[in-house]
Structure 1
Amino acid sequence: MSVLKLLKHLYFRLPLSPAMRHRLGLLKRKLVARPGNPGRSSTADVDAPRLERATMDQSSGIRLQMVAQSQAQVEGADLQTADETLGLGLGEETVAVFFSVIDWHFRHQRPQQLALSLARRGIPVFYISVNFVDDAKAGFRFERLHPELQLYQIFLHVRGAHSVYSDVSDGEILRQQKLGQRMMWEQFLIRDAIHIVQHPYWTALASSVSASKLVYDCMDFHAGFSNTSQAHHLGEQALIGQADLTIVSSDYLFGMASEAGAKALTVIRNATEYAHFHKAYNPSQPHPKPVIGYYGAIAEWFDVDLVRSLALAFPQVEIRLIGADTVNAQAQLKEFSHVRFLGEHPYSGLPDQLAAFSVCIIPFRIIELTLATNPVKVYEYLSSGKPVVAVDLPELRSMDHLVARCSNTASFIASVGAALNENDPQKQQARMAFAAQQTWEHRASDLVLKLRDSSHEPLVSVVIVTYNNKRLTERCLKSLSDPKLQGAYAVPIELIVVDNASSDGSIEMLQAWNQLRPEPFAPLCSRKVILNLENRGFGPAVNQGLASAQGEYLVILNNDTIVTAGWARGLMRHLQRDPELGMVGPVTNNIGNESMIRLPDDSIKQTCLAARRYNLDHAGERYPLRIAAFFCVMMPRRIYDLVGGLDERFVPGFFEDDDYCLRIAQAGFKIACAEDVFVYHELSASFDQLAAAKRAAIFERNKALFEAKWGPWIPHQYRPVSADTNG
């Protein structure tokens, strides 16, 4: 037997704890990484996986190295061409990144099922494994999980031994993971992503990309597990508070998340892969002998005493227990020869085991962990038509017509006895009919609908003032409204354009634009055009727009900008995280203060690509500002209500932004630049139309007004080179 086969045998048969399984998984990865060892997936519908590695070289570039590949894949392959092919088609799509609770190859359950179902819908899926690669360099390895779907498992590099279940992601570990995350985005040309978090460990990493929609898939009461640290509990509370959407699998978890302050909350219960488990239904093949069966974890929530009572009550009936035994249940029940422990079985073989069961049991202890559980196995059991006997779990109460739910040991034993004698085809059909409507495809459809539902999201009102520059305005409007540019899950936008008596065809263009129907899944949900009969100047026109805005967050945006994917959510996230932050703007390529970072200017595309790297390298960070430049700023409505509109004395422009920022600071709030949000800027397109002498006169006049109000003006400055990693 090969070393890999021996490891697999041990993995599935021995009563290993999660920590031991984690260590074995790491050892397997190291063995697979040796040249000539092709990796194989344990999932039935997965082709030979390909493990590849992306690492950071000394020049901070990306170097891709093949570390394991089957001979058939290697022959005749151009590795550079094959690598480039991996990213094709991803650029315009919103991808789903699952921050997992288990490795892909460990018990095919909710995490893998939802990820696979989304991939089947054409959504590229990246499944971040709980197993890491022990490497001091930032980077990641990836495994293609399906030959036809864009479905990958990602193994981030982490220095030293590290466990999702017992350790915390912070400091240098978090920094290394963030770099690996950035490299993944670059390697796969990711424009926009939804982050679906399934364990609190990932809170810091997943929430660091402010522009990504953050979803918490809460499938367990994590505090109920013995290996959950206090840090993870606090991380879960923070995650629920930050998540744009929290999904729970049970009513108990719904109540918990609601009390924790979830912004938006929905229930998506567990389900079954019906076609897979329905294979166990074979009424024409009688059982040679009765079997009371269970498969799943034999862990701290497994009621050994209840199984002992069953063994005493049915001494002639085999009790078959399938799963990893981490509580020494086998030793506790060793006096019963008819109680058989078969160890862990692969997912692909479970229907064969289920087919041999006469009655299926769920013998759990009634503790907070199980009170919060919506058991996957009940849906899988019912797919076979088998009778199911369970303890009194709240999530089973809606299935009383299908499941024997028992409140004590005596009723459990009686129900098992009745189930062993059952011969009712109608009951079998009723169970299977129910299960057929509770599939992972049904749940994935619900998930997609919930992800696309922006009705619970805060409305962002964007005010744009225009004066000629029709081409730039058209470009700006397209970047704001195109779902291919903004992704399918952007925050809803109310767009208000105030035109200051343009004469270059802008008015006609805006009138036509205002009549357009919104594209499906476009972020733009409302549009309004205000046409001034004269050029009122920047401040008064902005005030017109702000006065008509309905949003919870207000944006002032120049028309010579191009917004990037997730820009509005990214800015909003910083304001939501810190209630003392009164205004925030993005980094940009062209402005006269610290918001500018040095970027290549060969083309807009190259500038935006370089900016994306900067944003990802500084995920979750912000740079303090004294004055924000009003090419793009966002503030909460409460700040606008407190501070009021722009001072209209600073017409037609200059110093209205300085004045407004000082008013915000005077009210006790901070101003910052979001280091992880980029907006492209042409710089002063409207004022460039003015003659230099007239510009200078306006500047000096408004400077005098400003200094009369605030004292000597402090000129804007660029940030120090040391604060700009692109410098």
Structure 2
Amino acid sequence: MDPINLLVDRIDQLTRSTQSRSIEALQLVKEIENRDRLINQLGLDSKALGTRLSLQECEARRLRERLRLAEQRLKNAEALLKMKQREAVALSDWAVDLRAQLAAKQAELFKLCDWGNAIERAPLRYSMRKMAYRFSRWVYAWLPLSAQVKGKLAHRLRGWLKPRKATPGESATSASLVPLPPSPDLAVPSSAGQPMILMFGVIDWHFRIQRPQNLAKELARGGQTTFYISNNFIDDDAPGFEAEPLAGSHRLFQIRFKVRGAPAIYHAPPTAAAIRQLCQGLAMLLETANVGAVDCIVQHAYWFPLARRVPNSTLVYDCMDHHEGFGNVAQELLDLEIALMRRADLLVATSDWIEQHGRRENRNVEVIRNACEFSFFSQRPGKVYRDPANRKIIGYYGVIAEWFDLDLVKQVAQALPQQLVLLIGSDTVQARRYFKGCPNVVLEGEVPYASLPYYLHAMDVCLLPFKVMPLTLATNPVKVYEYLSAGKPVVSVKLPELSQFGNRVWSVERPDEFISAIRNVLGALPEARATRQARQSYARGQTWQHRATSLRQAIATLPMPKVSVVVLTYNNLELTKACLDSLVTQSQYPNLEIIVVDNHSSDQTPAYLTAWADGHPERIVIFNQDNKGFAAGNNQGLAAASGEYLVILNNDTIVTAGWVKGLIRHLRDNKEIGIIGPITNNIGNEAKVSTRYGRVDDMPAEAAQMTRSRMGEWFEINTLAFFCVMFPRSTYEQVGGLCEEYGLGFFEDDDYCRRVQRRGMRAACAEDVFVHHHLSASFNALGAKKKQALFEKNRAIYESKWGSWVPHTYRDV
């Protein structure tokens, strides 16, 4: 039985195993079915994805075709734009020529107008002169004399018949110019510690007395020697200038530069040749007058290429007008004005409108409005203008130009026919012809500045009849201050700048309101004395002296970028003293941080530096416990520096006046420069220049003469020697500190310049900044053998990084 039982058991086991396998098979079949379904689903998904990809490819092809068409249209547009630009340049040149022709015709018209006015004022005198002239010609032909004798006689006769008349505002000193040759004998007074003024004017001093002349007079009276640069050039091929002492202050001069062709400043920027000649003439002026620190006040964009080069200067743009509003200013000059706005250290705006415009270009904007000569206009002269018909006088004085509303004044004349409308000023729009049908309108033409009170004090009401246009919206009218100085009631069209006068001026919008205001003023005459005094009291606080004081304060409080100077010391105390003394006395820069890193000096240097820095938070001293070498020591100073501009300066140097501003000016004007250094008397590369001085005491004068003659000039140099270099913080942040592999020194300056150039920046040498250098005062203590060994070791380090070292060379002489 046992075998049978065993067989039964085995059959049972096989049955259970078979059942188990069947179950597994069923599960496997289900899994296979599930996978088949998944595969089918994936197939469907793949097909759908393929369809979507196909659609996207089609869309991509359409987009590429559209892009190709757009690129083609862009190329066509660029070609069209270039063609239009060429046409615009041609049209601009044509417009410049037309403006020049127009200016010539206007000049002829002014002469004819003046001639016509003279005939109208004195017809009998004109007739007598004409008869005398004809008679003289008959006598001239009849006289039995030689041609030479006749010529002399005719010259004298013409001088008698046509005597020279002084131009409006001309003083007695204007008839003769006093040339200022480059000579130390010229007695130009110093500015008593204040910067001298170079005022680059928009008009000649004797043209019309306006804001430029009044500011210049008050700056000179305040103690600053002021050179007023005239826009009227002397036509001469040689550089130079003439100077004219001006009445009112012994510190005030008008300067006329020599420029070939004597170009007008209003039509186009200066040519390269004109800039060169102006720079040479300006250098002669600076040398002759021994000009040190200077404030350049620019009043027209033409001067910007010259003014930006002036050494040791602060650049101020006195923006008096919205020049684009004149409508006839060349685009090149408007572009130059934008560059001036951006570059100026201070932008002075004469109105709120100009301030808002200027703040888009410059963060340092100060509103300094126009003003008046209160004492001149407030005093009633002994004799004033009188109307023969004894009518009340509605008056205006100033240029009658395109911004003058002829139609408004005509409506006033027609609405008030019993009153006299008196207009005084140069007529550039043929107003005389326009008012021909208005018998109560009298045009006196332009009169000398000194005669204005004679007319002003006769007026019963004063007008400001301007058109409302961009030019006048930006204008702060000088004549309103002058009207109020005389206590006169003023009626004006509504302009933004009139709001500052409050109820002292009738400011209206419509012509009927303008006429009504004039009627109300005339109907209220005579005014109470207190009313007139209130106007004068206001004007008394709005003088050019006030404006000059505001301008000085604005310049003095200008925020200057901080400059950090790192000086590394190691013994040589006397050299260190001379270096630090020159930094303090000659830099003439208000925001200077001096960081001295002492590399464990063994002489009296540590004690001196401790005393030198005491009580001066802008002086920082770092003492090292061992000599860390040139690179590591300077890196300590750079890490401690907080300035926007960083300087590495050897302690065996002596800086010269204005060196900081000189180097900063090049970095600001040439953004591609990453690092810059000065010229010097003693260095082993192109920065070395020939000098004559034998004593350090004679160095400043020679350095000033040298740098003035090269103002604004710089050249690219492969390697700067780090006896004196300046770089903006942006360079330091990109390049980092000096490489400390070079130990005590040699080749770290070559290495740093390579790193600067690798970043796409340029190394430059400023021809108009000079720093005296004793050369290798610290290294000389090592001895020749140790110096040579250090040189060879560091050369190997340099060449392992940058390839073969190219020895420095001197400039070609």
TM-score per shorter chain, which class? 0.7 to 0.9
2:294 paired with 1:193: yes
CA distance in 2, matches of 1:201, 1:12: 30
> What's the CA shift string for 1:460-487, capped at 9, x where partnerless?
11111111222222222222222xx444
2:532 counterpart residue number: 428
Change (3 A) 1:87 1:605: farther
CA distance in 2, matches of 1:374, 1:147: 26
2:487 counterpart residue number: 385
2:255 paired with 1:131: no
> What's the CA shift string for 1:106-154, capped at 9, x where partnerless?
2211111111111111111001001011111110001011374211100
CA distance in 1, matches of 2:774, 2:116: 63
> What's the CA shift string for 1:88-108, capped at 9, x where partnerless?
536965211000011111221
Change (3 A) 1:284 1:666: closer
1:534 Cα deviation (Å)?
2.2
2:706 paired with 1:614: yes
CA distance in 1, matches of 2:427, 2:684: 64
Q: 1:504 aligns with which of 583, 595, 603?
A: 603
Alignment of 1:570-649 (within 5 A): 570-649=662-741
2:556 counterpart residue number: 452
1:696 Cα deviation (Å)?
1.5
CA distance in 1, matches of 2:695, 2:113: 54
CA distance in 1, matches of 2:179, 2:170: 25
2:795 paired with 1:699: no
Do the aligned partners of 2:456 and 2:483 also contact (CA within 8 Å) in 1? Answer: yes
CA distance in 2, matches of 1:279, 1:44: 21
1:514 Cα deviation (Å)?
1.2
Change (3 A) 1:399 1:54: closer
Change (3 A) 1:470 1:356: same
Q: 2:283 aligns with which of 182, 187, 190?
A: 182
CA distance in 2, matches of 1:421, 1:176: 61
1:53 Cα deviation (Å)?
2.9
Alignment of 1:256-405 (within 5 A): 256-259=357-360, 261-280=361-380, 289-405=391-507
Which residues of structure 1 form unaligned runs of 5+?
A: 1-6, 17-36, 56-61, 65-82, 518-524, 722-727
Alignment of 1:80-95 (within 5 A): 84-87=185-188, 89=190, 94-95=195-196
Do the aligned partners of 1:608 and 1:680 also contact (CA within 8 Å) in 2? Answer: no
1:643 Cα deviation (Å)?
0.8
1:38 Cα deviation (Å)?
12
Do the aligned partners of 1:496 and 1:528 also contact (CA within 8 Å) in 2? Answer: yes
Change (3 A) 1:449 1:49: farther
SS for the counterpart of 2:427 is coil
Change (3 A) 1:50 1:554: farther
CA distance in 2, matches of 1:493, 1:337: 68
1:441 counterpart residue number: 545
1:54 Cα deviation (Å)?
4.9
Do the aligned partners of 1:209 and 1:676 also contact (CA within 8 Å) in 2? Answer: no
What is the alpha-carbon root mean square deviation over aligned residues? Answer: 2.7
Choose 416-425 or 180-189, whichever is displaced more.
416-425
2:545 paired with 1:479: no
1:172 counterpart residue number: 273
> What's the CA shift string for 1:541-562, capped at 9, x where partnerless?
1111111111111111112222
2:803 counterpart residue number: 711
Q: 1:655 aligns with which of 734, 747, 754?
A: 747
2:758 counterpart residue number: 666
CA distance in 2, matches of 1:348, 1:410: 34
Greater share of strand: 1
1:69 counterpart residue number: none
CA distance in 2, matches of 1:674, 1:577: 12
1:544 counterpart residue number: 636
Change (3 A) 1:11 1:335: closer
Amino acid in the other structure paired with 2:370 = N
CA distance in 2, matches of 1:127, 1:338: 41
Amino acid in the other structure paired with 1:387 = P
1:467 counterpart residue number: 570
CA distance in 2, matches of 1:475, 1:197: 37
2:356 paired with 1:255: yes
Amino acid in the other structure paired with 2:350 = S
Amino acid in the other structure paired with 1:538 = F
Change (3 A) 1:247 1:178: same
1:530 Cα deviation (Å)?
1.4
2:777 paired with 1:685: yes
Amino acid in the other structure paired with 1:262 = N
1:609 Cα deviation (Å)?
3.2
CA distance in 2, matches of 1:187, 1:39: 33
> What's the CA shift string for 1:465-523, capped at 9, x where partnerless?
111222222222222222xx444xx3521111111222332222222221256xxxxxx
2:179 paired with 1:53: yes
1:15 Cα deviation (Å)?
9.8
CA distance in 1, matches of 2:614, 2:521: 65
Do the aligned partners of 2:396 and 2:464 also contact (CA within 8 Å) in 1? Answer: yes
Q: How many corresponding residue pairs?
A: 656
Do the aligned partners of 1:591 and 1:629 also contact (CA within 8 Å) in 2? Answer: yes
SS for the counterpart of 1:52 is coil
CA distance in 2, matches of 1:710, 1:690: 27
Alignment TM-score, normalising by the size of structure 2: 0.77
1:410 Cα deviation (Å)?
0.8
1:704 Cα deviation (Å)?
1.5
1:105 counterpart residue number: 206
Alignment TM-score, normalising by the size of structure 1: 0.85
1:404 Cα deviation (Å)?
0.5
Do the aligned partners of 2:244 and 2:255 also contact (CA within 8 Å) in 1? Answer: yes
1:302 Cα deviation (Å)?
0.7
1:603 Cα deviation (Å)?
3.1
SS for the counterpart of 1:103 is coil
SS for the counterpart of 1:389 is strand
1:212 Cα deviation (Å)?
1.7
Amino acid in the other structure paired with 1:439 = T
> What's the CA shift string for 1:150-203, capped at 9, x where partnerless?
111000001124111123212211111111010101111112211110001111
1:144 counterpart residue number: 245
Amino acid in the other structure paired with 1:527 = R
Amino acid in the other structure paired with 2:604 = G
1:48 Cα deviation (Å)?
6.8
Do the aligned partners of 1:46 and 1:145 also contact (CA within 8 Å) in 2? Answer: no
Choose 609-618 or 182-191, whichever is displaced more.
609-618
> What's the CA shift string for 1:273-328, capped at 9, x where partnerless?
11111114999999954111111111111111111011111111111111111111
Do the aligned partners of 1:15 and 1:343 also contact (CA within 8 Å) in 2? Answer: no
SS for the counterpart of 1:528 is strand
1:619 Cα deviation (Å)?
2.2
Do the aligned partners of 1:40 and 1:47 also contact (CA within 8 Å) in 2? Answer: no
SS for the counterpart of 1:298 is coil
CA distance in 1, matches of 2:168, 2:625: 70
Do the aligned partners of 1:91 and 1:190 also contact (CA within 8 Å) in 2? Answer: no
Which residues of structure 2 form unaligned runs of 5+?
A: 1-107, 118-162
1:40 Cα deviation (Å)?
8.4
Do the aligned partners of 1:14 and 1:344 also contact (CA within 8 Å) in 2? Answer: no
SS for the counterpart of 1:208 is coil
Do the aligned partners of 2:674 and 2:727 also contact (CA within 8 Å) in 1? Answer: yes
SS for the counterpart of 2:568 is strand
Do the aligned partners of 2:473 and 2:496 also contact (CA within 8 Å) in 1? Answer: yes
